[in-house]
Structure 1
């Protein structure tokens, strides 16, 4: 039987003769059969960075998570928002971006290129493990040496991500980072990004008591070393248009399948949140400046939802039109998210900072990110943040993290599953047996046919088995 190298085959190995400094400089990313077949680390890095946006926008993990967390709902072909079986494959992540980054690691062009490659791998592994739970990690990306890697427990993956990030942060030197489209080779920026990712990972595991000391130490180290504190430092992909358009532009490219959910528009209306002016647009046309707060009722079957959109033609599209340009951006980690995560870490007693000060800075950065001015005192005063740990703090911090992370569905789904805030009502027209919101993706049939021993071992560790109702490791009741 032919063996399929699911975890090692690159979807698009890059063999180019020069490095890239901007997405527009990519040129032809296909292999030229007449050229010398030598992988170029700078081109590999550029290609991976150019494709990262999907993890926080319209990729399967993010667009599905955004529906489960009720940022979005479907307007044409209801399925994901009705909790159809999410039997998705993760192998494309391994054969594509993760493997291209591993090629950089193996080629070892210099210390900083390897550090950046490993940092980006941890970001991708984070999205993958949060979506499925246990997945290949320690034995992945080994090529023909191991084509059937074990599934590491999510606990071990989280520990591995923290260790890898810490090692990378502490081993940067003065060597160049070629092909870096995001930070232009700036080492200080990459350290801040890695520390911010480390902080977010630590906070995500905060409800697991057995690793509380590890998570606390990681958060404290990250903050002390320096995280993203202003929007100019955000971990963001900026698209030049033409062949490299923003995924948010592509969302409405000849289609209009998604809307901002009424769950979110109702919440922003109830708090008089100025960010709604940027969150929803009345037209799918890019550049249209008209906003909309007419959220589409969440989780309705096709006939019901189309009846609503037909009756309400100015229903809220995802993002106002000027945030959906071909030359738009995708934010993967923002200053708003890091300040609010710091506030949660402070509430847990992990860092010696003022919870309310960090909360205020998080709101301030979020309003600045969306260009809606300063935070009104009347708005912020609705959320009572006390000096010491409290249930109200957890509620208000979690809900504002949910709002500030829009439209990153991976982050929203993570926040809701961990905290149970905001309180969400499952889809009225849910099709799954439990009628409950999806808590994880189900392993694909391909895994059972090609790596059965490993996937079955992982399934045996799942309370409830390989179902969409089972919880990942950090999703503690």
Structure 2
């Protein structure tokens, strides 16, 4: 069914012109054929792009480059956010701007708008945590405004909390069509909205803990994910039309990425069963050997653990927002005093989070109890934040940008390396085009955040340490 929905959406959105005389005066930037749910589904197709990127894996040091190592050495180069605005966000905004034109035959209009708002919030959250201040309130107006101002990250977070509240409170009974994520299940969309709010609230733990605590408690009260069945997952297909990025690369013989020693050093010493899912043993001696992140000499891919078959399968899923993240967040919140229970609750949620992670990844859990009793893993009140943060980072494997965001917030794991003296970046640099096409707003944003000098090492708003 997912494959059929995707092909229908693609056909509707990319339909070619059969009659030149009839179509020449049609504005190609104004969708006239796709319905609201089809536009939303097309926005969903971009979700895999939030995770399927070597750059994100380098930021979290999950993978080490074996071929073009300089690409992983944190060069002072820019990264474009245009694809987010021109693709999924524009599709979603078109839906939100067309509430009076949406058809109720594809599900209650209120639910279509709610899904669009939730997805918009998720995409914008992703963008602001990577670049810092980004356009939001002036953005997505098409020809009415080609030079949007940059909103402060603080104001963006405020707007996103509101957007998620609006979405979850507006949901009514009934499903929506063309939903390739939750198959129209609005209960899952509601829990996703509250889960996003909860995770965003935790991001404020250092910059505004009082607000973070308030928003966190409200999200939990409203109802967050309660099992892996509610995970936000992008499901690839065993079909070239919608296949896994990593499959497409390795299918061309590109063994360009090995499991990093940064990750290996946190998993192998404790016999973490997820390691056998994340990577394959090396072909030299059947061992799990990590490649030092940033290593530039004598790289023989036969000697290192490469990406596992479950990760590189053509239809391997992308895990974006998960139940294990909910539990890790609740464990940290209990330790911080944001929710009741103190260390007892923190330990319970921490243990549940690791179990949920194992189950999500399909790891062998036959010896899970022994794994959990190891001194490095067993909950220790004196090291709780480090343990929670490190295990969350291990869980977030292959969702590099999210793992990177949590590392910037917490400082864990504590074994990140600085290849060639380059520390892990604090943010990404705006695309150069903005300097020329949106000069005044670009300059104002860079001056406000970084004193006029933009680099990879300017802190975003919530990263105060």
Same fold (TM over 0.5): yes
Shift of 1:24: 4.8
Aligned CA RMSD, in angstroms, stands at: 2.3
Q: Give 2:431's aligned residue.
A: 444
* 1:466 and 2:451 correspond: no
Match among 228, 231, 237 for residue 231 of structure 1: 228
Shift of 1:20: 8.6
Q: Give 1:216's aligned residue.
A: 213
TM-score w.r.t. the length of structure 2 is: 0.88
Distance 1:314 1:229 in 2: 41
- The answer (yes or no) to whether the contact 1:277–1:292 under 8 Å persists in 2 is no
Shift of 1:316: 1.8
- The answer (yes or no) to whether the contact 1:80–1:86 under 8 Å persists in 2 is no
* 1:416 and 2:407 correspond: yes
Distance 1:446 1:92 in 2: 13
Distance 1:182 1:90 in 2: 23
- The answer (yes or no) to whether the contact 1:296–1:309 under 8 Å persists in 2 is no
Cα gap change, 1:271/1:48 in structure 2, threshold over 3 Å: closer, same or farther? same
Residue correspondence of structure 1 range 158-173 to structure 2 within 5 A: 158-173=157-172
Distance 2:448 2:250 in 1: 40
Deviation by residue 1:270-314 (Cα, 9 ceiling, x = unmatched)? 222111010112489xxxxx986221111123xx1xx2325xx15
Cα gap change, 1:451/1:221 in structure 2, threshold over 3 Å: closer, same or farther? same
* 1:317 and 2:306 correspond: yes
In the alignment, structure 2 segments of 5+ residues that lack a partner are 24-31, 103-108
Q: Counterpart of 1:331 in 2: which secondary structure? A: strand
Distance 1:241 1:118 in 2: 30
Q: Which moved more, 1:368-377 or 1:142-151?
A: 368-377
* 1:331 and 2:331 correspond: no
Q: Give 1:8's aligned residue.
A: none
Q: Which moved more, 1:99-108 or 1:322-331?
A: 322-331
Q: Give 1:194's aligned residue.
A: 193
- The answer (yes or no) to whether the contact 2:198–2:215 under 8 Å persists in 1 is yes
Q: Give 2:329's aligned residue.
A: 341
Q: Counterpart of 2:318 in 1: which secondary structure? A: strand
Match among 37, 42, 46 for residue 41 of structure 2: 46
Cα gap change, 1:27/1:137 in structure 2, threshold over 3 Å: closer, same or farther? closer
Match among 423, 442, 450 for residue 455 of structure 1: 442
Deviation by residue 1:396-436 (Cα, 9 ceiling, x = unmatched)? 11101101111210111011111111113433335xxxx22
Deviation by residue 1:113-167 (Cα, 9 ceiling, x = unmatched)? 1111111111111111111101101111122232211101111111111111111
Q: Which has the higher helix share?
A: 2
How many equivalent pairs are there? 434
- The answer (yes or no) to whether the contact 1:20–1:46 under 8 Å persists in 2 is no
Q: Give 1:22's aligned residue.
A: 5
Q: Which moved more, 1:290-299 or 1:447-456?
A: 290-299
Q: Give 1:296's aligned residue.
A: 291
Distance 2:170 2:37 in 1: 20
Cα gap change, 1:425/1:193 in structure 2, threshold over 3 Å: closer, same or farther? closer
Cα gap change, 1:442/1:27 in structure 2, threshold over 3 Å: closer, same or farther? closer
Deviation by residue 1:77-127 (Cα, 9 ceiling, x = unmatched)? 113321111311111110111001111111222111111111111111111
Q: Give 2:29's aligned residue.
A: none
Distance 2:303 2:327 in 1: 34
Q: Give 1:10's aligned residue.
A: none
Q: Give 1:246's aligned residue.
A: 244
Q: Give 1:14's aligned residue.
A: none
Q: Which moved more, 1:376-385 or 1:343-352?
A: 376-385
In the alignment, structure 1 segments of 5+ residues that lack a partner are 1-18, 285-289
Distance 2:146 2:49 in 1: 26
Distance 1:232 1:215 in 2: 27
Distance 2:142 2:174 in 1: 28
Q: Give 2:360's aligned residue.
A: 369
Q: Give 2:61's aligned residue.
A: 70
Q: Give 1:32's aligned residue.
A: 16
- The answer (yes or no) to whether the contact 1:280–1:316 under 8 Å persists in 2 is yes
Shift of 1:441: 0.7
Q: Give 1:268's aligned residue.
A: 267
Q: Which moved more, 1:245-254 or 1:134-143?
A: 245-254
* 1:153 and 2:148 correspond: no
Shift of 1:21: 6.6
TM-score w.r.t. the length of structure 1 is: 0.86
Distance 2:416 2:336 in 1: 28
- The answer (yes or no) to whether the contact 2:78–2:428 under 8 Å persists in 1 is yes
Shift of 1:379: 2.4
Cα gap change, 1:373/1:281 in structure 2, threshold over 3 Å: closer, same or farther? closer
Q: Give 2:51's aligned residue.
A: 56
- The answer (yes or no) to whether the contact 2:204–2:211 under 8 Å persists in 1 is no
